[in-house]
Structure 1
């Protein structure tokens, strides 16, 4: 007979084994006398005991059923197998030699675990998720507002355009009306004069008829003819209607109107960060409309007077800045023919490859890189003097002065800011810094694992911004092109493409991008340019007889300009077809 369920037996305290039971711990399932109940709590303070009167306890315990023997209850627990067992299991010798305890003894440990996990969920995890949910709801509300403001800004900008176009249309129509009225008034005046002449001619005809019928010779001799006057005044006055010659809409109207930057979703939970960069709206709404030519074409070659030529930057489709191995930066024309504004400015005829002017650094040190800003100003790096300098209206302006760091390469962003690749003075670190004027907006130096993105202290590293706002750096030391997104997160590294003809080690130099986010990098060792897409997929080599290609840039028509180092020439290469119609 079970002493716990028999009403005929006196139930004793589980601890002292003497006193009659008065209390019950629902936490440990222990029957206790009043004295042992207090001791039970004080000696096990770490546990959340719940002491009730013995009569208020749950009178029936439901033991777990045995999974092996039907209708058997497991009142024992095998510590080695970590499972409840029944009497039949014990009799089958399956647990012979194993440490066995009562199931009730395991209950306390199990409840400890459940209690600990419940408290963690209740006190930490649940409030954390509530905060996250509240934060997400707040961000969603703010996001809806911000996107509403963004749409409103686009609409207002569009309305500005419409107003300006309406003004232009109104002005042109007013000019048309004025021209029409002027010509109509002139023709009306001429018509009035002609009608008067017609009336005079009718009078003369009647006079002639009368003279022919008269016998009065004096009247006959008094008739005079005005025929010479009529012949002279009958000359036809010609009118010419003005012609409206509409300008062709720009091939990329979105460049003039404006564009959206790349959007991103960032998830940050308990220190784990994950960044997903989405395609920009511009990339989604403006599919590529250019295709690769079957074979790239060398359009023209510009000769320079450097000993070695390293960098080229487009000022316009007709002019390029160049840099060699001295402290001079020189502006050259590209195409043969006259450029009137430049002829007036410099007072000499322009021929293919003629030098327009030369700029010498004030410090006397040779610059490491050059670029042209969005506003058309020349910017260059003075590595020794630790400065970034812009040439504005023929005057040098020191926009960035560094300490403990030296600028090596630079590019101008679509927003008009500067991206500068820097080396530390000890040549042990390298980083990219985004500057707005002289203010640092962002620093990019390490990947998500804390490893450096760029090789420090080495030569031949150049930087550019892609149309999708990725930041592209050619790193000849690492023999790689490193691409990070606008937030500075590593997207991929391109380490070259090997073919039978191009099997020397990949040696990237200059880097450029085009209007459809292709990335181009000069491969000095293999005498070619690698063309890859915005996700790092190799597309083709561009050769065109290149020898020692170094600096790169593209013009507004996506022509590639390549500075050949030892040949001291810039080649202009066409590699894309003209814009195709898009349905």
Structure 2
């Protein structure tokens, strides 16, 4: 039996239909269209055996004809209307038919009434079985969208506040530095002026003494002494020379509202035509109860066209191995142009090789985990955690200081393949954040807290970007993988049930998120939304560095050897 909710009970439903035969209270299943009587199966059999009623039309109760209600004729009040004049299309009584509708054709009004009732019931069924539940599902969908919009707006407001707080802290720090410089300059200039004060005070004292001495000569009665002293001492030391100090000049910034908007970000409404809500087509058979429209799902993220042709293998297949001379182990790998790789260990050794492992160059760095990446132009950029800077090595091997990170220590870095932006994971004391720079090194965005104001990161030591702009980090302190969208809004975080210790992280052209689990010697593969697709045990112990090359092969480095193993994991 099918259960109905209160809103789904048909308007014509009865709790229990009983037989209309006198003294019979059995369940009604049939209906005599001639007698307009409902009856049970036993009474139907007797009804059809009776000589008087054996020719009556007995049907199932659902197929019954509706009994014509007794309506008196408005002209002949003692008569009931029971016919339909086909020419005039009006109900009439027998007296109207003979007096006012001579020569017209008539139809049994009860038959027409039954047909019209059938049409009406058919429309009621459509409403109850399709239009009403479909509309209710669409109403539910709008409420879900309303809740989702509220969550998004709350997240945007929280991001705006966090961005403003970050800018305030930056302004306070910069203002403090400027005031410190002014104080130091003031101290220097005042010391200079104090020395000049002393010089002039000493000279003035000297002049007073000289005047006193000359007055003594004038009052002397010994002319010879006067003549001798005047001849010898009539020389006045010159006035000391000093310089007037040049004070510093403060040049006020010439900024506009647009400049501040660029710092704090802006909210925009995408120029996208809204999609119509999907409405399930109405089924033609109204006698069958329609299933409710399925719950309105969120739109899937845009997938790369390669997803049409590539899928995960059931297990990874080892393709080859190569060693990286000059490093003790392989904790991070970056792919450069012309098939060249950069690989690093945990001792600050950073080596460039070709795909066969032949060394090309080696530099010494301050070390770290995911601390180097290759830009769209083919330049290597890497963090210097000791000096809190990001360096760049161009294709002609010129090393330049690229970005200063101030009080923050840069520990991980990734160059976007989408727009060339540079994503940097940084720490300061117990704080951690991800900062976005333009490809020219201009600070664009800071991501530090979720929409509830909670700290997102503890130590984002590896960082990468997915095909849709999501920023994915593996966090060594929290033992968690954190994913935010390109606006900095938190999407999801995940931990493995076996206590994942995440290290190297990368993505592929399908949008998979691949993470080394150093604790369980496997690589987790998840989709854009964080759903686990596969856990591939690729090496015996301690996977660290991770890279997917241009041929969709997976390179895995290890913690205790300079061997890199290459696997085919897509088919």
TM-score range, shorter chain: 0.3 to 0.5
Q: Normalising to structure 1: TM-score of the pair?
A: 0.45
Bigger relative contact order (CA 8 A; separation at least 6): 2
